[in-house]
Structure 1
Amino acid sequence: MAVRRMIQAGVVPITWMAVLGEWQRDWAREETVPGAAEIQQQHGGASGVAFAWEMQLLAGREGSAA
C-alpha cells in the first residue's frame, strides 16, 4: 500500500540496479568501482553475468595491446 500511495503522489519506482548506478554516478570514480562491480556480479543475475563477461573481455584486450 505504501508504494501505491507514493506512486499516486508522483514517485517513479526504480530497480535496485538503477539505484546502484545512481550511487556510482560515473565509472570513472575508480575508488568505488570494485565494490559496485562486486555487488552487481553477486546479485545482478543475468546482468551480473554479462558484466563479468565484459570485464573478462576487457582484461583480455589489455594483455593483447602490448
Structure 2
Amino acid sequence: MYVCLCNGFTDRDVKSAIADGAQGVANIYDSLGAPPQCAKCSIHIREIIREEATVQSVEQIRK
C-alpha cells in the first residue's frame, strides 16, 4: 500500500527503513532518500513505526 504519494513509497519501504534502524518519521524520509513534502503521510508512518515496535517487542518476549 502506498504510504506517501508525493514521494511514491509504500508501507514495505517504511518497514524496510525501520528494519535498517530508522526510528522516527524524519529518519524514514532520510533512509528512503525522500524529502518530506505535504507531510500527510507522517500519521501513517508513525502508525507503522508503532506497529513494528510492538511486533519486535513480542518477538523478543518469545525468545
Q: TM-score range by the shorter chain?
A: 0.3 to 0.5
Bigger relative CO (Cα 8 Å, ≥ 6 apart): 2
The structure carrying a bigger strand percent of its residues is: 2
- When Rg is computed on C-alpha atoms for both structures, the one with the higher figure is 1
State the TM-score, normalized to the length of structure 2. 0.44
State the TM-score, normalized to the length of structure 1. 0.43
